Structure 1
């Protein structure tokens, strides 16, 4: 019986789905809202994200993936089932083959959890592939030649850095520092500096609107609202892009250090190719103002942001669906 092959970028921040023959059909936040007492699901995806920080005590908004891996198995399974049904990739007579991308350093236990969640959501077969490999393919890099290609994929939960050649990963690093940690660093800075409590959504808005890591970035500022920790009352403060830059300094520094380490472990011939070809930035973190310039200065190689960086991984899964039988079912 006919069944569709689908590729899933199972991200900490967003789930993206590519259905073979249809392209990218879903891009929604990895959030589920539940009633705490009955565990009844109230909303999934964008509708659930709008509820973060705004629910009464008996309703909780859960992000079932943390740092690129499954933190809540049952909720992840519920979320996957909902999204797969929403895109019409499964019905009573067909079960799709599913290709899912995961960070390079996850354990065999974490891989098993991802595989089982996909199987229980209705997959006939489940294939796992390394995230930076899919990101590189989705960014248009030809990783199947005997030459060096380097990709830095900064998602919500993890940053995956890899050098690829001959269709496989030569050296890589995966660290749990990415978009979520950027948000946490901003929240922490505002709490310490202004004694103001802000939520995840406000922190993300700051990151998207005024965050920069450019040495002499455009000076922007933004009014933010939160709860005063001293009086307990609502309060508005104005923060500048320069302050956000200071807040992000440590997290950005750890990404730079990991990228340097990967380059140091790369064979010299492949390093020479990377000088010619440059490093490609993918993932939502690639949109951080000035990041490509900073990395280029620190790594001494050209750094370019991929076209449509947030969709590189899911586009890569879409291209890999054409050769699904060659994708390993084993540990990568």
Structure 2
């Protein structure tokens, strides 16, 4: 009896003084090319990271590396996710020209009406046509930005002939092709290089959505802005992804995979697009307040511009079909999905 009592006392004492076992805390390295003050980090990444922390009981946390702090260039981000240099990246697939042909369709001119609807459509389109292109990573979201516009320092652009002789920055293969069809000389470069290129006269202008411009202080370097009539589809937009390293995701316990999955996909994609839509008026106002000059291409003159988009779409269908993709079906599906989700 005394022996049993001693054993019981020892067990109770061990239980009393044992350190509590804490679940492992997992820190995800999240990399992107914007400055830390940009909408992308403050309105999207930071709230997303806070949400997965709460839903995982603080077992999932983020360490965010803005402005390429993990090294490399914006064009290398998608490979950094594939290789595990970063656990999660936010980038443009189009920065690596030709690697993700399936999703280029969203960057054709006059495809979208708003970023929210087009971003929800982008996820649905990826599920049907893009999974092979993105098999090296685990996509968490696909989205587009708000309407892209034309900005330059040389002269007001009121008609297509005004593009002649201009050197214009554009982000991706198809937007550069659009610039060439409009009559300017395209200069390909990632967004972070644009302010220096503008200030040094390497380019005369650029195409960008409004949200980015104050973040990069480009409204202080630019005189003229040209927009399409609001009744028309966007002149262009750019396709983005937030993608995760597959091995990092696969290594998570099932309950933490569920947290990531619950905060990925169509709803997350649409929320990012909505944030871009909502950001545009205030960003545009900063250019207005500086007294910059604005011009709108009226709907009555838009037909000539839309023909440029039609030619580019036909070229794209022929090109990707030659690579074994169902080009026309992809174009038709993208347009139908955008129309469906933008009408909601």
More helix by share: 2
Structure whose CA Rg is larger? 2
TM-score clears 0.5 = no
TM-score w.r.t. length of structure 1 = 0.29
Flag the structure with more relative contact order, 1 or 2, with Cα contacts below 8 A and sequence separation at least 6.
2
More strand by share: 1
